[in-house]
Amino acid sequence: MKTILLSPPSTPGSSTADYAAAVARAGARPVLMPLPGTPDCEALAREALEGADALVLIGGGDLDPVLYGERPLPECGPALPIRDRADLALARAALETGKPVLAICRGIQALNVALGGTLYQDIPAQVPGSAEHQTRQAEAHTVSVRTGTLLYEIVGTGRLPATSRHHQAVKAPGKGLVVSAVSDDGIIEAVEFADKRPVIGVQWHPETLAADYPAHQALFDWLARAAGAGA
Ligand code: MN
């Protein structure tokens, strides 16, 4: 059975049950990395990934804007430097070793920053006229999936209902990334590589919908398959 590493949550009490369940339904073994809390954060992240076949970068709070060359706006949430370091190290290690990645919510933001991209620190403050992206509804808004993308191949539809529990989003995509889905107001909701290597970032939470929506479970099924293909 293939092992899929879940990146560390911000606190030990944060629930990762939905991620673990979606990975298990895909036929892979979920393994949770604890928050390192040590000067050897990057080394521990690399070691944790060495023992896994693929990576899920899970959701959470805001990354420190310093990491993409900006000063924090008042609307930006508090930084958790050890988690930023762990997530960036995991993303970079996965990219270097060719291990498949599904980057979710904060995860797509970490993936993007790891590749030199930037973020909107706060959509309401920085994108006038944008829709509400911070809501608890299961079907908060629809995302338009671009044809010809790896994401489209996986979900099999151009219009997908999605959660929206974020106030930040990808602004400038990082090196090599292309946009694979947007919401109707133009906010970037998914990214991937133009060469279709097995790396996908989504701004919504497929794990909370996966039990009821095959298109969202399909992302985890794809990750498990890609883990098996192995680089
Ligand atoms: Mn959204």
Instruction: Give pLDDT, residue 231.
Output: 42
Residue 127 Cα to ligand 1 middle (Å): 13
CA neighbours closer than 13 Å in the CB half-sphere of residue 118: 13
Instruction: Give pLDDT, residue 39.
Output: 85
Residue 214 Cα to ligand 1 middle (Å): 19
Give the residue among 218, 217, 201 at the shortest CA–CA distance from 209.
217
**Rounded CA separation 97/199 (Å):** 12
pLDDT digits (tens, 9 = 90+) for 15-69: 899 999 999 999 999 999 999 878 899 999 999 999 999 999 999 999 999 999 9
Q: Which residues are catalytic?
A: 105, 205, 207
Residue 74 Cα to ligand 1 middle (Å): 21
CA angle (213, 188, 209) in 5-degree steps: 15
Q: Which residue has the tokens 């298990």?
A: 24
Residue 141 Cα to ligand 1 middle (Å): 7
Residue 59 φ then ψ, to 5°: -75, 170
| Cβ–Cβ under 8 Å, residues 161 and 62 | no
